[in-house]
Amino acid sequence: MHALCRAVSPAIADCELSFIGREPINVALAHLQHGEYVECLKKLGVSVIELPAEPGLPDSVFVEDTVLLFDELAVLTRPGAESRRAEVDAIAPAVQAVRTQVERISAPGTIDGGDVLRIGKRVFVGLSQRSNQAAIDQLASILKPFGYSVTAVPMQECLHLKSAVTALSDDTVLINPDWVDAAYFTEYRQIRVADSEAHAANVVRIGAAILMPSCFPETLALVQAAGFAVSTVDVSELQKAEGAVTCCSVLFIG
Ligand code: GLY
């Protein structure tokens, strides 16, 4: 397993915010926490390609939104927030170094990688403030020859689909049913986040291991009780930028 990660921009305080209020971000602490996140990926066996900070791109630490990396090809996105579109050209060379086929979503399509949840050959895409049907149609047509089926999923009250649901394994999801209709995921065993931890559904899956933020102890206990081995990391400063653990890496098989 490999990952693309990018260091925290010194301009992160100017990030986009959609569903949370702006609070001061301790940039030095954000750097430290991101470093610990990268170390955690490495300890879990991931080979990390560390890209330099982009001082002019406040949200660029959230690399997940810029590219969808499949085993067979890569798809560069067209982020829904205009301020984030230049992040795609910034990551393109690193993507081209790891995939020979690289496609790209074009206007009027917009899509953030945070809205794209892949489980095996199923690809769920949130119809969010950032991702639209035009992009979903383009993605479905790009992926069809490779046997992926793409499903658009309505959602509400959160930034990305992966704020509301992520996969713990090929047959289990962690979900906040207040933000996304659980009926879209009936083929999977569902673990619901703790009532008091609405933001806890976003976890990174690395093989059989799970990485989640340290600030959701009740959901952590639920995931552990279901038999998953979980590592935790403190990402409080990145959460203030409306980021989560999946946002900070693009995982792929080399
Ligand atoms: N700050 C993360 C985003 O809004 O894209």
pLDDT tens, 173-197? 999 999 999 999 999 999 999 999 9
- What is the Cα–Cα distance from 183 to 118, expressed in whole angstroms? 17
For the segment 78-96, what is each residue's pLDDT rounded down to a tens digit? 999 999 999 999 999 999 9
Alpha-carbon distance 107 to 247, whole Å?
23
Fill in the amino acid letter for 198. A
Rounded distance from Cα 131 to ligand 1 centre (Å): 13
Spatial distance between the Cα atoms of 204 and 127, rounded to a whole number of angstroms: 21
Sheet containing strand 67-69, strands side by side: 67-69, 74-76, 102-104
- To test ligand 1's pocket by mutation, which of 61, 62, 237 has the most ligand atoms within 8 angstroms of CB? 62
Strand partners, 117: 124
Q: Residue 232 is encoded by which pair of tokens?
A: 């935790």
d(CA 74, CA 190): 29
Instruction: Compute the distance between CA of residue 246 and CA of residue 237 in angstroms, rounded to an integer.
Output: 15
| Pocket flag, ligand 1, residue 18 (CB < 6 Å) | yes
Position 54 scores a pLDDT of 98
242 CB near ligand 1 (under 6 Å): yes
**Is 160 one of the annotated active-site residues of the chain?**
yes
CA of 245 to the centre of ligand 1 (A): 13
pTM: 0.97
Q: Which domain holds residue 92?
A: 2-252
Distance CA 241, CA 58 (A): 9
Q: Residue 170 maps to which CATH number?
A: 3.75.10.10
Answer whether 2's CB lies under 8 Å from 98's CB: yes
CA angle centred on 97, ends 96 and 101, rounded to 5°: 40
Give percent above pLDDT 90 in the chain: 100
> What pLDDT, in 10s, does the model give residues 123-150?
999 999 999 999 999 999 999 999 999 9
Q: What is the mean pLDDT of residues 155-160?
A: 97
36 pLDDT above the threshold of 90:
yes
User: Which residues contact residue 21 at a Cβ distance below 8 angstroms, ignoring those fewer than 6 apart?
Assistant: none
Tally the domains of the chain: 1
DSSP reduced 3-state for 89: helix
Averaged pLDDT of the chain = 98
- Report the sign of the C-alpha dihedral through residues 48, 49, 53, 59, in that order: negative
CA dist 81 and 93 (Å) reads 21
Contact partners, residue 166, CB within 8 Å, separation at least 6? 117, 173, 174, 201, 202, 203, 204, 205, 246
pLDDT above 90 for 245: yes
pLDDT of residue 254 exceeding 90: no
CA distance 29 to 87: 23
Question: 67 pLDDT exceeds 90?
Answer: yes
